[in-house]
Amino acid sequence: MPTIRDVARLAGVSVATVSRYLNNSGYISQEAAQKIRHAIEALDYEPNAIARGLAKKRTSTIAVLLPDITNPFFAELVKSVEASARDRDYNVVIWSIDEGETAEHSFNAFLRMLQLQYIEGVIIATHTLATKQVEALKKRAIPFVFLDRPALVTTAPVIRADNRKGARLAVRHLREVGATQIAHIGGPQALLPARERLQGYLEEIKAGGRDMQPVIVEGDFTLEGGMNAIYRILEQAPDTDGIFAANDLMAIGALKALHRAGIAVPEDIAIIGFDGISLTAMIEPELSTVAQPIAALGARAVDRLMHLAEHGGMDEHVDTLEVTLIARASTQRGRLH
Amino acid sequence: MPTIRDVARLAGVSVATVSRYLNNSGYISQEAAQKIRHAIEALDYEPNAIARGLAKKRTSTIAVLLPDITNPFFAELVKSVEASARDRDYNVVIWSIDEGETAEHSFNAFLRMLQLQYIEGVIIATHTLATKQVEALKKRAIPFVFLDRPALVTTAPVIRADNRKGARLAVRHLREVGATQIAHIGGPQALLPARERLQGYLEEIKAGGRDMQPVIVEGDFTLEGGMNAIYRILEQAPDTDGIFAANDLMAIGALKALHRAGIAVPEDIAIIGFDGISLTAMIEPELSTVAQPIAALGARAVDRLMHLAEHGGMDEHVDTLEVTLIARASTQRGRLH
DNA sequence: AAACGATGTGTAACCGGTTACAGACGAAAG
DNA sequence: CTTTCGTCTGTAACCGGTTACACATCGTTT
């Protein structure tokens, strides 16, 4: 591994000049640049990232904080974050913050890592984060952006999908395929996106006229939560013929429970989810969903983070990206009843 | 952020002594240790990982090379690798190596990253890796272990599941629930695990007596591959009443295709997959599978890597971990015919 | 002609650790 | 009483970059 001093020697200039060349900082003469270029070429030199990190007090690394990589939504998100970061020669470290008692401990370890590794920014895609913890980040002057979460503190950008509108699209679609009694399986109402989706649902139910009654049961964004919700819905509102679940995982759970209860989808009940994870296309019947632009979310988050890291300045921009309806078998038109 | 010099000053010793204390190297008197302990406590000092990395030419970081984080098998694997690494205060960087034309470019970027970041070891969980590329790793003296792949080069440890035995378990289970004509949807035969699973299938078919005929179609480990395989199987062997797919994703595809063809599972055809990804419990009917000990695989890989990194010495041990049969609805006993 | 600003370069300190080496000390061995 | 050895510590070089600062050159202004 050649070092910058090897390059300097071969090019017949000082290390400072080589460093300036590498960083496009300060003045460099044509001849010097030329010689350095050749020396770098000849030695197949690449600056050492660790040494540079130490000197600059910043490495080209960002972190993603998420609840669980095995959740397909986050896996897809990470994929796009990674791709975007790589395009800019940045590295990504994933940090899963487990729930429950070790959460605090885990977050502290994360904080420590951030500092000791000179991580440049954090994409926060987890909800289980206390304001106190975000303040800790802020105090350390590490840029961060929130993904589909409310900011918790001001002065941090948020990247989000248009949840309310997506919910309206979903419910409208159910109405269009003939559902007249539409129930909602909501997410944890502590989470903003869950509240927004509920709101969109309510708006659209209201738009449906007075004979549409809202039926709402709260789930927890898990498969099991979706299954349990079905039992409650069937009890509360046996005439339900359409269901909008606040995320795909719960919709898939709902599908399971309905299947077990001997209720046909979409013939008896049409169902639609939210997120657009690839899982929705794998099951049978394929699940209609409102797709978040997952790749775009990740890319935008990286954009914003880079911007913050480079130009500083706490912008508190909120990016709201568009969602798209994907109609599939679970809401097929021409149903029986 | 206090530095080691701050600690040294406060403790009234030299930085060398503090460093020795931190690394348990060399001799330290009781009193010195005591004073240093207090100073560290008082300053809330933590050694800077980057500086240490530069000096030691090694950071506490390992890399995982995989094809696609959105594949649930790899997501679950990463999760366990991450947890094990974290226990040892190691960080993990994920590197997805895309297939196709940019694969080589991507791998080169990976190699560069390894060196410039002083990465200590690599877990290779991707199949699209040429011998040449592995040699490149080896030449750079970076320890690595293979996960469920043949070694490609000698002198590298391999962690794997007992594929052949798992396949036998699967097929035997199908027989036990009454299947008499069992087909196999194989993986790409270029991959060793796929070949081993096929072998297990063949052995168990043979054990079933002469009236059992092997029927084999090759898939590609994807959902679509599984769907296509079904069409070929139904054509080739219409009397098939049991299917063993070489991985869960293909089994799920098969389930989809059977559903579309109006064939009931498990009533008409029983089906079982391989891997034990959590997806298998999400679909309906729930998919029977041969579960790889995914968490154990990840943990063991980290173990081996640490061992290599610390004690050097290219051990070429092969770890074969046990698999377990999980019987679910897709192979329910007491089927109709 | 003096002063000035833009251009170009090298020296050396610095980032925050690790570690080779030399030296001090006391106890045990010869 | 020397020698030897184990224990303990500090100085300073080093890892491989970045950058403040000093200095030199040269074309323009005043």
Give the residue among B275, B269, B257 at the shortest CA–CA distance from B330.
Answer: B269
> Candidates 1.20.1740.10, 3.40.50.2300, 3.40.50.300, 3.40.50.2000; correct CATH number of B163-292+325-331?
3.40.50.2300
Residue A264 burial (CB count, 10 A): 12
Q: In this complex, is the C-beta atom of A6 within 8 Å of any C-beta atom belonging to chain B?
A: no
> Which segments of chain A belong to CATH 3.40.50.2300?
61-161+294-322, 163-292+325-331
Written as one letter, the residue type at A27 is: Y
Considering only the beta carbons, identify the residue of B1, B78, B116 that sits closest to A48: B116
- Cβ of A283 near strand C (under 7 Å)? The reply is no
Q: Which of B96, B97, B98, B116 is the mutation pick for testing A, counting most A CBs within 10 A? A: B116
| Interchain contact, B256 vs A50, CB within 8 Å | no
The ranges of chain B annotated as CATH 3.40.50.2300 are 61-161+294-321, 163-292+325-331
Nucleotides of C under 7 A from a protein CB: 7-12, 14-21
The three-state secondary structure class of A94 is: strand
Beta-carbon separation of B93 and A91 below 8 A: yes
pLDDT at residue A271 in the model: 97
Kindly give the parts of chain B with pLDDT less than 50. 336
Question: Of the candidates A54, A109, A282, which has its C-beta nearest B54's C-beta?
Answer: A54
Give pLDDT, residue A34: 95
For residue A88, the chain B residues in CB contact (below 8 A) are: none
Estimate in Å the CA B3 to C1' D11 gap, whole number: 19
In a mutational test of the A interface, the residue from B22, B40, B50, B76 whose CB has the highest number of chain A CBs within 10 Å is: B50
C1' of C1 to CA of A9 (Å): 41
Rounded percentage of chain A residues whose pLDDT exceeds 90: 72
CA distances from B80 to A75, A321, B61 (A): 15, 33, 15
DSSP code for B307:
H
Helices (H), B217-336: 223-236, 248-260, 294-311
Alpha-carbon gap: A140 to the closest alpha carbon of chain B (Å): 10
- For domain A61-161+294-322, the CATH architecture is 3-Layer(aba) Sandwich (3.40)
Question: What pLDDT does residue A313 have?
Answer: 64
Give the distance, in angstroms, between residue A146 CA and nucleotide C26 C1'. Answer: 63
Per the structure, the residues numbered 44 to 103 in protein chain B that have their CB within 7 angstroms of any atom of strand C are 45, 47-48, 51-52, 54-56
Nucleic strand D under 7 Å from the C-beta of B10: no
Go through A134-172 and write b for each residue having 16 or more CB atoms within 10 A of its CB, e for each that does not: bebbbeeebbbbbbbbebbeeebbbbbbbbbbbbbbbbe
Pairing of strands A215-218, A242-245: unpaired
Best residue in A59, A94, A286 to probe B by mutation, most B CBs within 10 Å?
A: A94
Name the residue among A192, A78, A82 with its Cα closest to residue A129. Answer: A192
CB contact under 8 A, B283 and A283: yes
- Bridge partners (DSSP) of residue A15 are none
In the block, residue with structure tokens 């798209």: A324
Q: Do A69 and B91 touch (CB under 8 A)?
A: no
The answer to whether B116 contacts A59, with C-beta atoms less than 8 Å apart, is: no
Tell me, in Å, how far CA of B242 is from C1' of C3? Answer: 96
The whole-number pLDDT of residue B168 equals 98
Mean pLDDT, range A66-90, rounded to an integer: 92
Q: Are A74 and A127 in contact (CB under 8 A)?
A: no
Q: How confident is the model at residue A153, as a pLDDT? A: 62
Instruction: Please give the CATH number for the structural domain made up of B61-161+294-321.
Output: 3.40.50.2300
Count H helices, E strands: chain A? 12, 12
Beta-sheet pairing, B215-218 with A182-186: unpaired
> What does the alpha-carbon distance between residue B250 and residue B273 come to, in Å, rounded to a whole number?
8
Q: How far apart are CA A126 and CA A255, in angstroms?
A: 26
Q: Is B46 on the interface with A (CB under 8 A)?
A: yes
The fold of B4-47 is 434 Repressor (Amino-terminal Domain) (1.10.260)
- Confidence category of residue A134, pLDDT binned at 50, 70, 90: confident
**Does residue A13 lie within 7 Å of nucleic acid chain C, judged by its CB?**
yes
Q: Do A53 and B50 touch (CB under 8 A)?
A: yes
Chain B residues whose CB is inside 8 A of the A284 CB are 255-256, 259-260, 283
Between β-strands A270-275 and A121-124, what pairing exists: parallel, antiparallel or unpaired? unpaired
Measure Cα distances from A332 to A47, A172, A237, A264, A265 in Å.
Answer: 57, 14, 22, 12, 9
User: Quick count: other Cβ atoms within 10 Å of Cβ B52?
Assistant: 19
Q: Contact A50/B46, CB-based, under 8 Å?
A: no
Yes or no: say if B270 and B335 are a contact pair by the CB < 8 Å rule: yes
CATH 1.10.260.40 domain position(s) in chain B:
4-47
Q: Give how far the C-alpha of residue B277 lies from the chain's centroid of Cα atoms, to the nearest Å.
A: 12
Among B277, B278, B269, B276, smallest CA distance to B290 is for B276
Residue that is written with structure tokens 């979460």 in the block: A149
HSE, CB side, 13 Å, CA atoms: give it for residue B132.
3
Does residue B330 contact residue B259 with C-beta atoms inside 8 Å? no
- A residues 106-145 closer than 8 Å to B (CB): 109, 112-113, 115-118
